Homo-oligomer: A and B are copies of this chain.
Amino acid sequence: MVRIALDAMGGDNAPQSVIEGADLAKARSPHLDIVFVGDEALIRPLLDSSRYLRQAEILHTDKAVFPTETASQAVRRGRESSMWLAIAEVAGKRADAVVSAGNTGALMAMAKLQLRTMPGITRPAIAGFFPTEKNAMCMLDLGANLECDEENLVQFALMGRAFYVSLMDKANPSVGLLNVGEEEQKGHEYLRLAAQQLSHPELDVNYVGFVEGSDLVRGEVDIIVTDGFSGNIALKTAEGVAGLFAKMLRRSFKGSVMAGLGYLLARPALKKFRTKMDPRRYNGAVFLGLNGIAVKSHGGTDALGFSNAIDVASNLVEHGFIPDVSAAIEKAGAIREQKKIVNE
């Protein structure tokens, strides 16, 4: 059994989408043991009408983190909130992972406080998967660290690789560094230093060089590493452009009777395209570098999207993601120490 603690009160459609999402996940993976943290009066009736969760446990609290709170407000005020208590289940080893669709900043701050940063990690990072022309691509950091140095980026690459391998059926994924050009002399100094370190054969990273913003959707590189400022801007820009295209396409088809008829004929073909790009399929960003698995679901997602975030959490548990990251960071640390000794 894999035990997952869910913040039942986080997200725009909580607790309904949380419970319906958990029901979908449980239907696919009967070995999931789910504990709901939140307001029992709201959760119980939804569990009663669920298919697979009538026996599920509830950890009651009537407090929740607000979507508009800053991280520090939430940490000060929210020690009895559903978010804090759900994370506490993982910190207390009573659950294997936590999933929340609530306030991102609060979740990051509370997870860092309770789960603590893994030994050897300088900065935790947020990672997620995204659709591309080919296979899904993993990008990190998505916004946890606005400023990064070469050591942070190298650690992001190692954590990203363990994350990728846990969720995808590919042994040696490729890693690229996001930059403003592919040439070696381009970009910030810390990017060139990170590139040098990632190229080191002993580190055993399949490093393929600098990539550009246009490479995000090509799917030629499996893991794209960047600082949290650029990563957040790239992510939101991509979401914005994709949303605008989808909206204008819908508008075009609705613009005339002929176009509407054309849409009906093309619908099956367009549906395949839409399914491939459906953001719900990629829902579930993960805070990497903590002593425990914390997954952030998109706040506005529905049951299907939330169920995918639960899958991300349970797959990471089953694939031993935490020991994998720990081993990779330890190895990188040993290589660095060795080099220092050689250089002295």
Residues of A within 8 A of B (CB): 70, 132-133, 143, 146-147, 178, 180, 183, 185, 187-188, 212-218, 226, 228-230, 232-245, 247-249, 251-253, 255-256, 258-259, 261-270, 272-273, 276-277
Residues of B within 8 A of A70 (CB): 183, 185
Q: Is the CB of B214 within 8 A of A236?
A: yes
Q: B residues within 8 A CB of A249? A: 249, 270, 273
**Bound: A258/B238 CA distance, A:** 30
Q: Which chain B positions have C-beta within 8 A of A268? A: 256, 258-259
Please name 7 further chain A to chain B contacts, defined as beta carbons within 8 Å, in addition to the given A180-B232, A214-B243, sorted by A numbering.
Answer: A70-B185, A146-B187, A180-B233, A214-B239, A248-B273, A249-B270, A259-B270
> Pick the contact of A232 from B213, B258, B277 — CB < 8 Å?
B213
Bound complex: CA A76 to CA B111 (Å): 54
CA A234 – CA B180 in complex, angstroms? 10
A-B pairs, top 10 by smallest CB distance, nearest first, are A213-B236, A262-B266, A262-B265, A213-B237, A259-B269, A214-B240, A262-B262, A241-B241, A180-B232, A252-B269
Asked if B256 contacts A146 (CB within 8 A), the reply is no
B213–A240 contact, CB under 8 A? yes
Residue of B with least CB distance to A186: B146
Residues in B whose Cβ lies below 8 Å from that of A213:
232-240
Query: Closest residue of chain B to A215, judged by CB?
Result: B240
Partner of A272, one of B180, B252, B265: B252
Q: Are B265 and A259 in contact (CB under 8 A)?
A: yes
Chain B residues with CB under 8 Å of A178's CB are 233
Q: Name which residue of chain B comes closest to A183, CB basis.
A: B70
Of the candidates B185, B218, B266, the one whose C-beta lies within 8 Å of that of A259 is B266
Q: A217-B241, A241-B241 are in contact. Are A233 and B234 (CB under 8 A)?
A: yes
- A243 contact set on B, CB distance < 8 A: 214, 217
The answer to whether A229 touches B187, judged by C-beta atoms less than 8 angstroms apart, is yes
Chain B residues, CB < 8 A from A258: 265-266, 268-269
Q: List 12 A-B contacts (CB under 8 A).
A: A70-B183, A70-B185, A180-B229, A213-B236, A218-B240, A230-B233, A234-B237, A237-B237, A237-B241, A241-B245, A252-B272, A262-B265
Chain B: minimal CB distance from A232 (Å): 4
Q: How far is A314 from B214 in the complex, measured between Cα atoms in Å?
A: 30
How far does the Cβ of A34 sit from chain B's closest Cβ, in whole Å? 31
Residues of B within 8 A of A188 (CB): 146-147, 229
Q: How far is the CA of A146 from the CA of B270 in the complex (A)?
A: 40
Q: How far is the CB of A281 from chain B (nearest CB, A)?
A: 15
